[in-house]
Amino acid sequence: MKNLKNIYFLLFSAMVAFYGCQEDEYSFGDIVTPSNIQITAEIVGADAANPYGDGSGVVNFAATADNAVSYKYVFNGEETVSLSGNNSISFSSLGVNTYTVTVVASGTAGVSSSKSIEVEVLSTYAPPADLIAKLYGYDAADPTAVTSRTWKIHSAKNKHFGLGPVGGQVLTEWYGAGPDEKVGTGMYDDRFTFSSDGTFTHVTNGTIFGRDPYIVNDLGPNASGNVNGADIENYAFDDYASTWTLTAPGGTETISLSGTAFLGYYTGGNHQYQIFDRETPNEMILKTTDANAEFDWWFIITLE
C-alpha cells in the first residue's frame, strides 16, 4: 500500500509539473512582428538658410512602430538601444555628408523588423589642439602619430560623482560623493582609453556600476550585481571597445560615445558627455543626461 501511495504521489507531481510547463509556454501571448516603422530626423539648427544644420553635426531621431516594445539604432556598425524610440547622434566628419541610420524595432519574444533613413548633415567643428592633446596625447609636431591616454574616475576628490537638475550649471548640485565613497561598487577600477584613431576602450575588470532600470534595459538582466536602491553595484560586464567623437553643439564641447559605451556610472541616455571644465591639469569635469531626462550626472575624471 505504501508503494502504491508513492506511485500516486509521483504521478500527481508529474501532472502538476506538466500543466505548469504548458501554462508557461503560452504566457507570452500572441507574437506579432513590429510593422509600420516611422522615423523622423531633426537636424539641429536646420532652417531655410541652413538646410544641413548649424554645423554641430547633431541629429535627433524619433522612431515609432506598431507592436514594438523597444528600438535599436544602428550606425557605422555600432548599436544603441532606445526603449522610447528617441536617440541623438553626433556626426563628426567635416563638411556636408550623407549618413545611413537603421532602426530595428523589436516586439515580443525577440521578433523584429527594420527600416533605414538617410540624413545629409553639415559638421564644421574641429576640436582645438589643446583639447585633443589633453584627451589622447595629440602632438602637433607629429599630427599623424597614433596616440592614446587612459582616464579614470577621480575617486580621491570630493564631488567626483553625483547628480543635479537637467541643464544645471553647479557641480553635483543635489548630491556629490565624498572621497572614495563608492569603493566596492565596480566604479573605481574602471579605465577609459581614448585613442587618436577614434577608438574607445573600457576596461571594467569584470564589473560596473549603474542605474536601474537603464543598465538592465540596455545591457541585459542583472545576474549577480548588488541592488542598492536605484543602483546596481558590481554588475557583471566584460571589457569592451567602442568609438568616440568630439563635437560642440551649441558651442559646448562634447564627447560622444557610440553604442552603449559610458564613463563611470551607467545612466543610459544619448551617451554624450558635455565637457563642463577642463582647465585643471590632468583632469576634466563632465556631465551627461540620463535616459529619462530626470537628472544630469556629473563626473570628474583624471589621467591614469
Kindly write down the DSSP assignment for every residue of 26-40, as one continuous string: TTT------EEEEEE
Residue 18 is predicted with a pLDDT of 46
The sign of the CA dihedral 120, 69, 212, 291 is positive
Residue 240: Cβ within 10 Å count: 13
Q: Give 282-294 pLDDT, tens digit per residue.
A: 999 999 999 999 9
> What pTM does this model have?
0.79
Regarding predicted confidence, which is higher, 101 or 125?
A: 101
Q: Give 191-213 pLDDT, tens digit per residue.
A: 999 999 999 999 999 999 999 99
Q: Which stretch of 74-78, 236-240, 281-285 has the lowest confidence by average pLDDT?
A: 74-78
Q: Is pLDDT above 50 for 11?
A: no
Residue 304 is predicted with a pLDDT of 94
Q: Give 252-280 pLDDT, tens digit per residue.
A: 999 999 989 999 999 999 899 999 999 99
Domains located in the chain, CATH noted: 35-123 (2.60.40.10), 129-303 (no CATH)
